[in-house]
Structure 1
């Protein structure tokens, strides 16, 4: 034992002095102590909601040092297994704090990725941490420039749908004309040597309470509104601005104020077609529906997966963030004259792939099209701090990574001030706002919108659950058809009925409904609606999270416990705090959850049982409601909405009804609405009988059977 020990000691004596000192310091645990202090500072800052650029840089620096220290401890053969285990355990504790902190703020998660690019600030803080632990580090040198021919470029992941190829082949002589794009002319600038981006961002932090948050807008225009539709005045103002030549907008209206309609009609006013629309997955079907309503003469197509079903000849192309990566290639060369990014706060992290793709497409469009229409839509322009503006401003072409561009730079030059002048900040802020920031709150335009309204949000169930639901619906329809045909064949009359016997259809639907309540019949209208609710739960919760980030507190209603469970799991993954109000709670527990939602600003969503929380609650702290499952009656739906729409509510209330497109869900939504009209007339003194939930269930089966018996339905069932 003495020999090896002496050799080990001799080896340490021969090691360079700085390596000896680093080993002594690290074995003493100083690096871990520095990391422990730093991670607690970051954790406390995130809990307080103060996630500044400095906090993000410190977070990334901790991750860098932690990763290197863990690798060093594992590879160090000079320490025993016990000592190594102790150090790894302490490092794991720091890693756990780092991960739980990142869950609170989704923007930090990307900084933990191995491929995340370390910022200069993070590198500097890393050196400071190591210095605090007594470890000297060499100053990092910039990497040498890479020659173009040094290494082949990584192959771009490309998908080119067949429809796009067909469009290109249809008229190969009319490729997009990019020659008219306005060239950039470099001119001497008074502010050329000033650092301007930080002062511009600071100008928003320094703004007083009375500072304007919206550009001056012209008198509303209804010139481009299709017949049968009507814009609200605040919507018409933005359309008028586009008609007068304005081409970039950060449209930051609160949810429920019709940003989709404004964007589509602004594109019409600007003749910005073909138009690219990048959206979250949960709203892409709604965009196609809204396009059919507001621009009915403009065909719209939605990219699903690899795009096998898209229509490349459409004027409006809708794509969700999740599949954008595989379509960037052909989209960039398509010749779009306008681009809308919905929920634009999704691109605030410029290191994320989706942000880079959006910025790349924006740059391609701006370089090839003279004055394209670019619109960033968000109810939450700032998630954590003013730095979140950077990616959105860059998408709009107002800035690049280093400086203001184009119109913004010209406007700042015309101000005649520098960041050293006291009046620079309010003047600079106005320059940015005048470029196209439009922000209206519900309370500001309350006279324009109804005090209570229901907005349907159709979603596509295009996964395995969606296919299963459609198959089950076909099974139910087939059983109804078989019953109808048996009843028709059993008639004593020899009269041949060539068309649908609607009286018999209603009888068959009635028999089915009666059997559903008395015996097992396989798939039925109740089990179908429950399955649809389960399939919608995650999408509905995701939309509730978006609303919570955009407009504050949200009430989420569901009928079934498993739907509530799925919604709460989704909110947990998204880092959204919620209260859960259910029928099986004690009065004390129930009140605790209600108080948390009403009084705690950190609790953003109340996940409520439609039956347990639909009556007797006061949730007017929220003006947005998500109805994840349909009621069987309009009255039950209205009672839920009235938890927020009640005396004391100062803002218009919007109920977002999540509808599964092309399923029984959409039929029942239409039936509920039609029955609501009958009920309203009855309450107003009409002799019309108020309808019950049984009527809706019966009419749903009638509609299902009638469609199955029609020629189109018979073909689709085969």
Structure 2
């Protein structure tokens, strides 16, 4: 049906409803044929569409199928010479009733109007549902529905879909956003490449490039393009990408090597493009870190993280972050939310187009392009290619450069401008350049080494598994309760023996209570002390830390993985084995010869990607500068121990900048310990600048962690009172 037909159907609804009322008053049973054929099936389907949209579900596929079948059935009725005029009029009135419901539904969700265009895309799900409705009506399915989809498949599962309450409120407040086609690409006037299969040649142009050819689009000179927070600054290579966005470029495959600040670049790119609300899809291991980085680089923008069914998500936030694993539950409302930009982190996760993860990402991207002209679309990955050059395809499709069969108009226009076809000798380098200029940005550490610090520590907050996270947080609350009880007993004892009352929190007594707990914990074999808790956190982080290290191996090369406990090292080894990543180990129970063999294997064998090290056994005396990335799976108790570990890589002779990735369990005492280590490091730096040295003992951090835990618990109790 067309939009004009919808308007006329809505006007005719009142007339048809009056006729139906008169018909009911006449009494008598409805004719049996009224419940047969296609129209009753469509009537049931349209009510499901109406009900689904009212509940906030995505009903795009069902809406499109019903509209198509109504259009075709109307044409059939008008052309059927065997129908009497009375029967024809009655059937058309029934179709008008269905059309009026569709019209009202589309008025509630205007993006549905885009599905009525003659050239609207029909997905595999559309064809599949169309066959089902035709078969339910006793009709022979249209053979055309057996054709494969030209683009992506709709994989929205309505039984899993959720619409968070905050999102529903936000969409009710601003329910209408007219599609904007002002920046639609012009039609191509020349069709030199018409009839040519283009995807193969484009891939070949990257598979066999000329030696030394650039993989980075031309970027403008670095200049201030956005307002930065007062305590941060951009490096030259970061500023150049943001300047490109300010100049109007909107699609990027940002393939910088790890550690070059892709997160900051993409967040500031969204600011330069005013691409809000912004959707960020990331692996679960970095979800919390993205929210933290957004607050650092764009503090004026609100950010909300989606967990599970999204009960706590802020539907009015400027930036919404969620992970691939829960995308299937949220793809419906996301497609209709009005996002003006989308960032996909670790975009190599979507290389397999057959996976639901990839199909969800592609579907959301397509819906955004249907609603917004020239949205900001960014794919971030240090490893755009893992298996072969075809890994590019899904990323290119996400960015809107190609369909699964051919280049889209913007890329095709660039290819036409070459004046050549794949039969010409110079076509392949020109085609490669055309794709790169669509927005591929690739910089290596060695290329921008002068712009980045020689050594940095990057915190990577991770969310623990639900069961582990709940258990650890419960244990932390129990420890805090025990400390409070011990503190209260000490206060009461002092009141009884000395007659002294405490006004507020006695911080000296807090330190004494923390010291007693620390002393008891060192001598205790129970699992409820701070030592056991930190170890449990390390065990819970092991798989996430190893998974991140595996990603670094694929993208950046060799990685040094540090842990405190053998069970954490063992868990990491299991992850690397499953990922087919060869690794070696330095453990405290090794002989000297085994230790030497492990180090030589890591340093000299290109096939060994990881060395798993004990913080205590490998923290000193070895040289691992063949790597430039360090993963600290567990936190040490001193800054000195942490620094010693990093210095196995960051030492004289190292030719690349070193990044130490510190894995921190969010919303646990792990975060407090990290902050305390940093504070001690700052103090040590000040002391060293003054030509003196401050020694931080092992007990200090542990004591301060307990002091912080008890102080926070006492403060929370006072606030509650």
Q: TM-score range by the shorter chain?
A: 0.7 to 0.9
Alignment correspondent of 2:4: none
Which whole-Å CA distance do the structure 2 matches of 1:147 and 1:588 have between them? 65
Which whole-Å CA distance do the structure 1 matches of 2:180 and 2:211 have between them? 46
Task: Report the Cα offset of residue 521 of structure 1.
Answer: 6.0
Q: Relative to 1, partners in 2 of residues 1:155 and 1:480: Cα closer, same or farther, differing over 3 Å? A: closer
Task: Report the Cα offset of residue 203 of structure 1.
Answer: 1.2
**Alignment check: 8 A CA contact 1:678 1:691 kept:** no
Task: Report the Cα offset of residue 453 of structure 1.
Answer: 0.7
Task: Report the Cα offset of residue 185 of structure 1.
Answer: 5.2
Following superposition of structure 1 onto structure 2, how do residues 383-422 of structure 1 map, counting pairs within 5 Å?
383-422=386-425
Alignment correspondent of 2:663: 658
Alignment correspondent of 1:300: 303
Find out whether 1:466 has 2:465 as its counterpart. Answer: no
**Alignment check: 8 A CA contact 1:342 1:378 kept:** yes
Q: Relative to 1, partners in 2 of residues 1:412 and 1:678: Cα closer, same or farther, differing over 3 Å? A: same
**Alignment check: 8 A CA contact 1:515 1:521 kept:** no
Find out whether 1:267 has 2:265 as its counterpart. Answer: no
Q: Relative to 1, partners in 2 of residues 1:175 and 1:574: Cα closer, same or farther, differing over 3 Å? A: farther
Task: Report the Cα offset of residue 217 of structure 1.
Answer: 1.0
Alignment correspondent of 1:251: 254
Taking only aligned residues, the RMSD between alpha carbons, in angstroms, comes to 2.1
TM-score for both structures, normalised by structure 2: 0.76
Following superposition of structure 1 onto structure 2, how do residues 362-377 of structure 1 map, counting pairs within 5 Å?
362-377=365-380
Q: List runs of 5+ in structure 2 lacking aligned partners.
A: 1-123, 125-141, 148-153
Q: Relative to 1, partners in 2 of residues 1:660 and 1:181: Cα closer, same or farther, differing over 3 Å? A: farther
**1:166-220 Cα deviation digits (max 9, x unpaired):** 2223x15x42332446446544511112222211111122212221111111122
**Deviates further, 503-512 or 676-685:** 676-685
Alignment correspondent of 1:453: 456
Residue from 523, 530, 533 that aligns with 2:535: 530
Following superposition of structure 1 onto structure 2, how do residues 20-419 of structure 1 map, counting pairs within 5 Å?
144-146=143-145, 156=158, 157-169=160-172, 171=173, 174-180=175-181, 182-183=183-184, 186-187=187-188, 188-222=190-224, 223-419=226-422
**Alignment check: 8 A CA contact 2:284 2:463 kept:** no
Find out whether 1:506 has 2:511 as its counterpart. Answer: yes
Alignment correspondent of 2:549: 544
Which whole-Å CA distance do the structure 2 matches of 1:619 and 1:277 have between them? 35
Following superposition of structure 1 onto structure 2, how do residues 419-434 of structure 1 map, counting pairs within 5 Å?
419-434=422-437
**1:614-664 Cα deviation digits (max 9, x unpaired):** 112221111011000001111111111111112221100000000111211
Q: Relative to 1, partners in 2 of residues 1:503 and 1:322: Cα closer, same or farther, differing over 3 Å? A: same
Which whole-Å CA distance do the structure 2 matches of 1:317 and 1:300 have between them? 6
Q: List runs of 5+ in structure 1 lacking aligned partners.
A: 1-116, 118-142
Q: Relative to 1, partners in 2 of residues 1:528 and 1:415: Cα closer, same or farther, differing over 3 Å? A: same
Task: Report the Cα offset of residue 312 of structure 1.
Answer: 0.7
Task: Report the Cα offset of residue 522 of structure 1.
Answer: 5.2
Alignment correspondent of 1:436: 439
3-state SS of 2:352 partner: coil
Find out whether 1:628 has 2:615 as its counterpart. Answer: no
**1:371-423 Cα deviation digits (max 9, x unpaired):** 00000000011112211111111111111111111221111111111111111
Q: Count residues in correspondence.
A: 570
**Alignment check: 8 A CA contact 1:533 1:629 kept:** yes
**Alignment check: 8 A CA contact 1:181 1:369 kept:** no
Task: Report the Cα offset of residue 155 of structure 1.
Answer: 5.3
**Alignment check: 8 A CA contact 2:155 2:359 kept:** no
TM-score for both structures, normalised by structure 1: 0.77
Q: Relative to 1, partners in 2 of residues 1:186 and 1:565: Cα closer, same or farther, differing over 3 Å? A: same
**Alignment check: 8 A CA contact 1:672 1:696 kept:** yes
Which whole-Å CA distance do the structure 1 matches of 2:315 and 2:468 have between them? 28
